[in-house]
Structure 1
Amino acid sequence: MLTLPDSLRDAFKDPLGSVTTDADALLAAAAETAAAHADPVEDAIDVNDAIVANDAPIIAVGDVVTYHLREAGRVPDVAVIDGQTEREAVRKEIETVLSAADVRRISATNSAASMSADLLSALAAALAAEEPTWIEVTGEEDLATLPAILAAPDGASVVYGQPGEGMVRVPVTPETRAEARELFEALDGDIGAAYDALGVDPSDR
């Protein structure tokens, strides 16, 4: 449906947020983002409650970041995994931990440097689900960060891996969504159909 043109490859290498190797610090920052965008909730007694009560999910893109968040005690609300890291199979330890997670799982097919309608609709379904939902991709999930930012609510955090550096956390705000939208709409393909598959009306974003 959408593909990454060669002319944009360098633009997609720059991290969209801060880079860290500390999963606990990342989760604390995600909780602060959720709390900052939360409506007052009677039973939200701390920032971690705000994540649950105000529907500000954590979305992980990639097996390694999903593993690190899981090991830090946080099951991502949505994860997009493909059994690979930097185009090689993940370590057995990572595969075992991710396979053991008690989450709903849905499947999608997606080629490298592209976004299929299958992946976009799976993201929409996962974000709408009431329980943690992980998308198991046949192919690659390398561009899933952008549609995740576009479809997630304000206050959410999208986390993905920056090769050789660590984890990138993107707080979902009008500003970061606008940046993601600019990159998304620069891809080759039917942008309107891609928004439809994602369940997003760009005029509302």
Structure 2
Amino acid sequence: MLTLPDDLRGSFKDPFGPVYTDAAALLADAGRPVIAVGDVVTYHLRQAGHAPSVALVDGKTKREAVDAEIREALSDPEHRRDVESPPGALSESLLSALAEAVAAADPITIVVDGEEDLAALPAVLAAPLGATVVYGQPDEGMVRVDVTEDAKAEMRSLLEEMDGDVASALAILGVDATEESR
């Protein structure tokens, strides 16, 4: 549905919020619900006693398979949704599953066949104000993004620069496509 153009890749190098190495400290500062993007991030949040409302995982960290301990800790067949999304892209199935999971009463783990790295963008757009999206910053830690109007505007602006059907992607996420981003 959407793919990341090469000239936009640099926009994702710097973290979109403060970086933490301690999951308990991050959770103390986080709003609710918490949406986690990444296997290692989700694992650390769960180890700190908090199951994210939505977790997006792909079985990999830094393009390598996660170890068995993390894989087992993240397996939850009862509250699991399987989707496909190729690297450098956001698929319709990922966006739909994300929107449904954010609205669900129970925690949902979205297992991505492909790559979930870009999912922080639509997660911020789909999340309610006051929520927190957490994603991994390789070799640095976990990034906390507070879901505010400004964060939503920044993520929407980046999403609008991607190649593909932006209007349909926004509609799936429940974002008014006619409303201009700031």
TM-score over 0.5 for the alignment?
A: yes
Does the C-alpha gap of structure 1 residues 103 and 60 become closer, same or farther in structure 2, counting only changes over 3 Å? farther
What's the counterpart of residue 45 of structure 2? 69
Name the SS of the counterpart of 2:117 in structure 1.
coil
The answer (yes or no) to whether the contact 1:157–1:170 under 8 Å persists in 2 is yes
How many angstroms apart in 1 are the aligned matches of 2:129 and 2:170?
Answer: 18
What's the counterpart of residue 16 of structure 1? 16
Q: Aligned pairs, how many?
A: 180
The answer (yes or no) to whether the contact 1:80–1:134 under 8 Å persists in 2 is yes
> Which structure 1 residue ranges, 5 or more long, are not aligned?
35-55
How many angstroms apart in 1 are the aligned matches of 2:2 and 2:27?
Answer: 31
What's the counterpart of residue 114 of structure 2? 139
Name the SS of the counterpart of 2:16 in structure 1.
coil
How much has 1:197 moved relative to structure 2? 2.2
* Bigger radius of gyration among the two: 1
What's the counterpart of residue 168 of structure 2? 193
Does the C-alpha gap of structure 1 residues 116 and 74 become closer, same or farther in structure 2, counting only changes over 3 Å? same
What's the counterpart of residue 159 of structure 1? 134
What's the counterpart of residue 183 of structure 1? 158
Identity of aligned residues (%): 59
Name the SS of the counterpart of 1:80 in structure 2.
strand
How many angstroms apart in 2 are the aligned matches of 1:164 and 1:81?
Answer: 18
Matched, 1:172 2:172: no
Task: Map residues 25-40 of structure 1 onto 2, 5 A cutoff.
Answer: 25-30=25-30, 34=31
Name the SS of the counterpart of 2:84 in structure 1.
strand
How many angstroms apart in 2 are the aligned matches of 1:149 and 1:109?
Answer: 20
How many angstroms apart in 2 are the aligned matches of 1:102 and 1:93?
Answer: 16
How much has 1:9 moved relative to structure 2? 0.7
